Structure 1
Amino acid sequence: MDVYLIDGTYELFRHFFVVPSVKDTKGREIGAARAVVNSVRRMIDEGATHIGVATDRVIESFRNDLYAGYKTGAGIPPELYSQFPILESDLEAMGIVVWPMVEFEADDALASAAVKAADDRNVNRVVICTPDKDLSQCVSGTRIVQLLRRTQVIIDEEAVVAKFGVRPKSIPDYLALVGDSADGFPGMPGWGKKAAASATVLFENWEQALLFRTLATLRTDVPVFNTIEDLRWRGAPPSPSGRGRAIN
């Protein structure tokens, strides 16, 4: 079987800025959350059987303790941020496994799930649904791949090399040097100049380079599931009232 691991944070952000505003009967903004839930439903309709969704319950993580400039939740529209618990609740209501991250990031949960799922011999392929370059470090041959859901493009190991010029395992080193504006760290000064100058800067600031490498390296030890069957979709669990919950 194929295992689909979805970057819920990315999906919520993406839909928030493209779908019309929709409010539920309580006056809450739910447009983006509803769009993401519907997109997951379509995946099930198209045959997906094993799905996990990771979200950032809070934007900050342990990396903020390592580097003061690391990304925070500052500037996120309240109407977007308030939809995280709504999305998580409604995905769980339809029987989807959700990992809301607090200490770690959604990327760490996806990386951990990808490594664990790939170790299961019953799994044919692990598909990480995100364009995030951080997750490219998890790609392995054609067994662990990234899927750009908007364009349906598959990124395997050779595609990572073609895009970045390095193998997936070297993505943290690559990002430590060139920086990652999305995550809020600048990389090493002088990178991109002549090789000798770049090497000089690198070795003069090796401790900083190692720090940025730590920021760019995803954790693969986040508790996500016990066996691959935990990710099998079995339909919506019964609610206490006997009726399934849904965004309305």
Structure 2
Amino acid sequence: MVSLRPLAALPVVGVLADGRTYRHLLYLLVALPIAFVHSGVFSFGVVFGALLAPVLVGLVVLLATLVAARLLAAFERRLADGLLGTDLARPDDLGEADGAVTGARKYVDAASTWRGVGFLSAKFSVALFGLVPLLLLTRGLPLVAAPARYPVTIQFGEVNGEPATWAIETLPEALAAVPLGVAAVLAACHLANAVAYAARRMAVALLDGPTRNGPAGESERVTVDGEPSGD
């Protein structure tokens, strides 16, 4: 008896039947606005903190920026768990603190604070790379739908300040547009998965906390889409 392979396991086109692809696209869709929030928080905190540091108020602003970084990193951890298929542990290296000075120092001393800052800084690059598959998708889908929409004019961008368009007015032209659109959609999905993979590895490396079940100081294996991340 011959069993059929799952559609998602098919080469090249199986990506369209894989639910992870659409979660990855959603992750990339929200990545850019979230990255702008990260950038705004750090720009305000670092610039004003540095300028006001001589009057001590700046130190409070810088500390608040680190606290905000931990909160944003916690949000990114939940986002990665929900859309990238990770299972990240919450860091617990802050420890106990007695007094305001000791409490402030624990945020500076915690390694997870600076790993979170590193992830938030790198997230902007991920967001920029994530625009490529999203743009491909917005160009490919109108081509796939051309037989149901013609006559239609599809714009691909600009060349020397002039819009680059394709006026599809006949059925043969619309049918010819379909394989081009399918190729663009497939390329977009594979690129989205590739960018999401890079973001997932970054999250595992920079946002994962210590083991929740094993001895202290050992890293837990984080499951990534059903596979262990490695030792």
Question: TM-score over 0.5 for the alignment?
Answer: no
Task: Give TM-score scaled by structure 1 length.
Answer: 0.27
Q: Which has the higher helix share?
A: 2
Task: Give TM-score scaled by structure 2 length.
Answer: 0.28
Q: Which has the higher strand share?
A: 1
